[in-house]
Amino acid sequence: MLTIENLSKTYANGVHALRGVNLTIPRGLFGLLGPNGAGKSSLMRTLATLQEADDGTVKLGEIDVLRDKRAVRRVLGYLPQDFGLYPRIDAETLLDHFASLKGIDDSEDRRQSVESLLRLTNLWQVRKQRLGTFSGGMRQRFGIAQALLGKPELIIVDEPTTGLDPEERRRFLNLLARIGEEAVIIFSTHLVADIRELCSEMAVIEKGSVRLTGQPDRLIAALEGRLWCTTVESHEPAVHGSGVTVLSTHLRAGRTVARVESACCPGPAYRAVQPNLEDVYFKTLRECA
C-alpha cells in the first residue's frame, strides 16, 4: 500500500503544483484523473524520486519514499509521459541493458526476464527490430516492459495512451489489466474512458489538490436520477432552471447537446439519461472552478 500525507510542492516560478495531497492507494490499478496542468505529472515525478517535495510524507509499505530514494528505486517501475529510446538498437538488446542497470546481474536470470517481458508485451516476434521502427503503441509496450523489470512493487504510468490509435490503445490497456494485481499501479491520465475501463479506485486532482476519491461505479451511482439531457439549435441558449448545473455541452449535427444535473426534471425539453464517469469528472471540476 502507498500512503501519501500532506504532500506539497511549489516550483521556483511560484506555481503551486501540489497542495497538501492525501491519498491511500492499495495494490491494483489506481486511476489519477485530471486536466492538463492539474498536478498529475508533478505527483508522479515526486513519487518516482525525480524531484523533491517541499512537505509531507509518502510511505510504500515500510519504505520512506521521500527519504530513502535508493530503496524506492529498487522496487519502482516508471513509464513517464515522454521517454527516449535509442532508435538504432533492437528491443532485446536495450531491454537486456536496462535489466543489467536494474541489478539483474546473473546472465541466465537476465535472459529469462527479458524473454518473459518481451513475450508478455507481445514484442517477442520483433525483438531484433530496431526501436526507431516501432509504432507508438509498440514503443509504449516496450516502455511497460522496462518498467516491469525486477518485479516492482510500485508501477507508475503517466499518460500512457496519449497518441495511440484505438487498436494499440486497446492492446495497451489489456496489458495493464493483466499485471494489475501484482503491484501498486498508478495510472495517470486525462482520458476518462481509460479510468472507467481499468481502475477499481480513482482520484480526481485539479489545481494541485485532490478533489474526489472513490470507486468509479459508486461515484457514478451517486448521480443516478440526477442527470438530464436536452438538445437545442446551436444559436439557441439551453433553458435551465434554478438548482440546475450544466455539466457539459457538445455539438451534434449542428445542434447543442447539454447534460445537466438537477434533483428533478428541469423542463419538458429534457429527458433523463444514465450518468457516466465523464459526468462525475465534469461535476467535480465545476465544483472547484
| Residue ranges of domains in the chain | 2-216, 225-273
Which CATH class name applies to 2-216? alpha beta
> What's the whole-number average pLDDT of the chain?
88
Pairing, β 184-189 against β 154-158: parallel
Where do we find the cell 459526468? Answer: 279
Q: Rounded mean pLDDT of 274-278?
A: 94
Output 285 or 252, whichever has higher pLDDT: 285
Alpha-carbon dihedral 123, 126, 127, 133, rounded to 10 degrees: -100
What is the strand order of the sheet 2-10 is part of?
Answer: 16-25, 2-10, 55-60, 63-64
267 touches 243 (CB < 8 A): no
Quick check: 234 pLDDT over 80? no
Q: Which residues lie below 8 Å from residue 62, measured CB to CB, with a gap of 6+? A: none
Task: Decide which of 196 and 232 is more confident.
Answer: 196
50 falls in which pLDDT band (50, 70, 90)?
very high
Lowest-confidence region among 19-23, 84-88, 235-239, 247-251: 235-239
Kindly state the DSSP code that residue 234 receives in the 8-state scheme: T
pLDDT at 123: 92
